[in-house]
Amino acid sequence: MPHHISIDREGPLTILTIRRPEARNALHRAAHDEMAAALDAFAQDDQQWAAIVTGEGDKAFCAGQDLKSEPPTSAASLPPSGFGGMTTRFDLDKPVIAAVDGIAFGGGFELALACDIIVASSRSLFALPEPRVGLAALAGGIQRLPQEIGMKRAMSLLLTGRRLSALEAAGMGLVAEVVERDVLDCARRWAAEIIACAPLAVRATKRAARDALARPLSETVAQIWDRPEISGLLASDDAEEGRAAFAEKRAPAWRGV
């Protein structure tokens, strides 16, 4: 049983909560390993269609690496799937939502960036302050932030460690929704909208969108019909169910096959 996180399942939704409020939900190796194992289980469970990652309390989503416990010395300091079991997990086709309430600093911001959607409370703050302590954002922040908001904006954060408010982050397109309170309920609403869609369609969309970042647009658009997840989607029972439900003016009953 995990000691540093909790795992809750609400139907097809998995909620992972970092439970180290005494350390502002910073992660040490044991917590990293528990997150990695929980995300492995989520990925392998056909009955789980979406996940939310959040932190206990209203002070911090995750303050990053617990430098007092175990300063990172190499990639081997983290599980193979990266910070929080997420930042180098490039084969997860199921959607993950970050529900941020409080600070998301360093690896905590990188953990949120590795998720597909970020929602945040208005009191939340984001930063990559690693250069201020002689380090660098080595869990994907250096690469993901320029992709998300452009090089000049990213450099203004990466080179200074400057803090970004939730509203500023939303204005840059990093945060999908800012709420005053109940950020987990906000994340549940987003998850419900995802779960209302056909799971195979969601996963195929995420995989194709992710792969498109690494290849020329002319290739990804022209070859979209040849992708195995797309051909599998179009031949699936859920695709037939979606068409039938539309014609019959009823809600579809997705089976994930």
Residue 17's beta-bridge partner residues? 6, 54
With bands split at pLDDT 50, 70 and 90, how would you rate the model's confidence at 230?
confident
Active site residues: 110, 130
Q: For 27, which DSSP code?
A: B
Is 80 exceeded by the pLDDT of residue 217?
no
Cα radius of gyration rounded to whole Å, the chain: 19
Domain ranges of the chain: 5-195, 199-248
Residue 105's beta-bridge partner residues? 127
Q: Per residue in 111-159, pLDDT tens?
A: 999 999 999 999 999 999 999 888 889 999 999 999 999 999 999 999 9
With bands split at pLDDT 50, 70 and 90, how would you rate the model's confidence at 79?
very high
State mean pLDDT over 171-182.
Answer: 96
Q: Report the C-alpha gap between 90 and 77 in whole angstroms.
A: 19
Kindly report the CATH class assigned to 5-195: alpha beta
Q: Report the C-alpha gap between 249 and 240 in whole angstroms.
A: 14
pTM: 0.90
